[in-house]
Every structure is written in structure tokens, then in C-alpha cells.
A and B are shown apart, each in its own frame.
Chain A
């Protein structure tokens, strides 16, 4: 048994050494070929002084939110996998908001989306609205980057809360139910 294992060790060692040597030769050959071929090129790759791009290029652009009208968004109401988020300030939220919406500034403070992530569990669509489309879009794109969830479809309500209200869709008033806990910690 011991003699056999000794023999296998010798065999493995003997086989591995030349294999490693061949691998090394292969790597050296590849490096040499690459180096010399680069020197022979009309426009060789410059190995020093490379300026890294400040943002990813072409197909690498970060995902962005989509814009939908109030009528289109209303079709998503009542679905379990959809969450509405209000990006306006607290006073405006209290005066009126989309029924079932959460107030973003208390759930996603600057750089911390932990609480929002909890509320987003099981949700696949997040509808963000603000005073205007541009305001909501900025917030939505920021959330997309921060949450890093590829399965989350972030939608911006076109025209903001005013468009929703003017279309006569369901609105509620009062403070955010989810804010009470966080505001006691976050706000004086």
C-alpha cells in the first residue's frame, strides 16, 4: 500500500514537472510573440500612460429608468410586485400622494438604501414620481445605481404627481407609514 502510494507520488511528480515546464515555455513564447508583434504594429499598444476612461463606454452604459404616463402606470396598481415611491419632500407627501406609495427621503437617505432594499424585496417594478419628470428621473437613476438590482424595472411617472392627480387616479394623504420609525432616529 505504502509502496504503491510512493510509486503514484513519483509518477505524479514526474508527470507534473515536465507539464509545468511546458506550460512555462508556452507562456514565455506567448509573451515574446505578443511583445514583438506589438512592436511591429503600425500603432502599437502603449503600455504606459494609459488614461483610464472616466465612464464605461458604448454598451457599457449603466441601466436607466423608463418613463410611463399616468394611465400606463395605473395599470400596475394593485400588483404585489410593484412599489410606488414618492421623491418629493415630506410636506408635499403628507398633502397628497399615490395610494400605497412610500416616501423616499425617509427610506433612502443619502448613500443608504438599506431600508428601501428591504421594502423592495419581492418587488420587480419601482415607480418613482416627483414634482416633475426630470426630478423623478434623477432620483430613479440614482436608485438604479445604488440598489444594483438587475431584475428591478424602475419606471418614472411622466408629469410627476400632478399628472397622476389630474388624471383622477387614486390618491391618499397623511404621513408615510414607513417613516415613523426612521424619522424618530433620523430627524430631530
Chain B
């Protein structure tokens, strides 16, 4: 990986780590509100406590693995992050098309209401994760490391 690619990769890792770690901690901290926020999506509302319990540790695990662990684990973390981002985007798009006017719940209590900006933010995070995966794939191919 060339110097500037490495720098971009590092900045992306730090940025994604910060976003996911913050989101995970906020959700965990305000888990009761988070349960309600998930139920508001009207997407299996009776299962919302399970989602509220599992989502923050998943976000923290993904965040830690992309910044603190080795490249192989970083890839797994980025894939997990990508899967979560796609899931969030689908849930938000569903609520948006149904006209359900709710807080997105992305960063716990006081999150912004679902709107065009939420989709722009998610698209940016997805793009960042894909770029990170691409850089890692490139460097893995060059070094021959799995």
C-alpha cells in the first residue's frame, strides 16, 4: 500500500471507529430509550429489546476490530460494519417510505429525525467502509497475507 493510501486508510479507520464507538456507547448508555426507538420503526416491535441488547456490542466489536486488531480482523470488522449500515439504511428507508416520522436512533437519545441527511450520512459511511475494504484487499493481495 502506498503512503497516501495508508494515510487515507488510517483516517478512515479512525473516523469509522469514532462513529461506531460513539454510537455503540450512546445506545448502550440509553438502552431503555433505544428499545423504544427501535419499536418506533414498527419492524418486529416485540423483538426490539433483543436488538437493543445486541446492536451496541456489535457496533463496539466492529469499531474495535477495525482500529485495534490486525488486518485480517479489520476486514471482518469492516464487513460487519457494512452489514449493519445496510441494515440501518433499509430500516430507515422503510420508515421513510411509510411516512413514519421518527428519530433514527443512530446515536441513542436525541438522534436526528429520519430525513435526507440520514441517508447521506449512511451513504458516506458505507462508501468509507467499502474504500477501507478495498485498500485492505489490495494490500492483502500484495503481501500475500490472508
Q: Do A and B bind each other?
A: yes
Task: Report which A residues bind B (CB closer than 8 A).
Answer: 14-15, 18-19, 22-23, 25-27, 29-31, 33-35, 37-38, 43, 45-47, 50, 52-53, 56-63, 145, 148-150
**Residues B72 and A30 in contact, CB atoms below 8 Å apart:** no
Q: Knowing A53-B39, A53-B40, A57-B36, say if A34 contacts B76 (CB, 8 Å).
A: no
Q: In the complex, how many angstroms separate the beta carbon of B86 from the nearest chain A beta carbon?
A: 14
Q: Nearest 4 A-B pairs (CB), nearest first?
A: A148-B99, A34-B57, A22-B76, A60-B102
Q: Knowing A45-B49, A50-B48, say if A56 contacts B54 (CB, 8 Å).
A: no
Q: In the complex, how many angstroms separate the beta carbon of B88 from the nearest chain A beta carbon?
A: 16
Which residues of B lie under 8 Å from residue A47 when comparing CB positions? 49-50, 53
Which residues of A lie under 8 Å from residue B52 when comparing CB positions? 45
**Residues A26 and B80 in contact, CB atoms below 8 Å apart:** yes
**Residues A18 and B146 in contact, CB atoms below 8 Å apart:** yes
**Residues B61 and A15 in contact, CB atoms below 8 Å apart:** no
**A14, closest chain B residue (CB):** B146
Beyond the given pairs A25-B76, A53-B36, 17 more chain A to chain B contacts, judged by CB atoms under 8 angstroms and listed by A's residue number, are A18-B72, A19-B76, A19-B79, A26-B73, A26-B76, A31-B57, A34-B57, A34-B58, A35-B53, A47-B50, A47-B53, A52-B39, A56-B40, A57-B40, A58-B103, A59-B101, A148-B99
Which residues of B lie under 8 Å from residue A15 when comparing CB positions? 140, 146
**Residues B101 and A30 in contact, CB atoms below 8 Å apart:** no
Instruction: Give the contacts of B46-65 with A (CB-CB under 8 A).
Output: 46, 48-50, 52-54, 56-58, 60-62, 65
**Residues B35 and A148 in contact, CB atoms below 8 Å apart:** no
**A149, closest chain B residue (CB):** B99
**Residues B102 and A34 in contact, CB atoms below 8 Å apart:** no
C-alpha spacing A22/B61, complex, angstroms: 12
Which residues of A lie under 8 Å from residue B36 when comparing CB positions? 53, 57
Q: In the complex, how many angstroms separate the beta carbon of B140 from the nearest chain A beta carbon?
A: 7
**Residues A56 and B49 in contact, CB atoms below 8 Å apart:** no
> Is B113 engaged at the interface, CB distance under 8 Å to the other chain?
yes
**Residues B35 and A59 in contact, CB atoms below 8 Å apart:** no
Q: In the complex, how many angstroms separate the beta carbon of B125 from the nearest chain A beta carbon?
A: 18
Q: Knowing A34-B57, A50-B35, say if A23 contacts B80 (CB, 8 Å).
A: yes
29 contacts between A and B (CB under 8 A): A15-B140, A15-B146, A19-B79, A22-B72, A23-B79, A26-B80, A27-B58, A27-B80, A29-B61, A30-B57, A30-B58, A30-B60, A34-B53, A34-B57, A38-B53, A45-B49, A50-B48, A50-B49, A52-B45, A52-B46, A53-B45, A56-B101, A59-B101, A59-B102, A59-B103, A59-B113, A60-B102, A61-B101, A148-B98
Instruction: Give the contacts of B75-107 with A (CB-CB under 8 A).
Output: 75-77, 79-80, 98-103
C-alpha spacing A56/B113, complex, angstroms: 12
Which of A27, A33, A46 contacts B49 (CB under 8 A)?
A46
Which residues of A lie under 8 Å from residue B146 when comparing CB positions? 14-15, 18
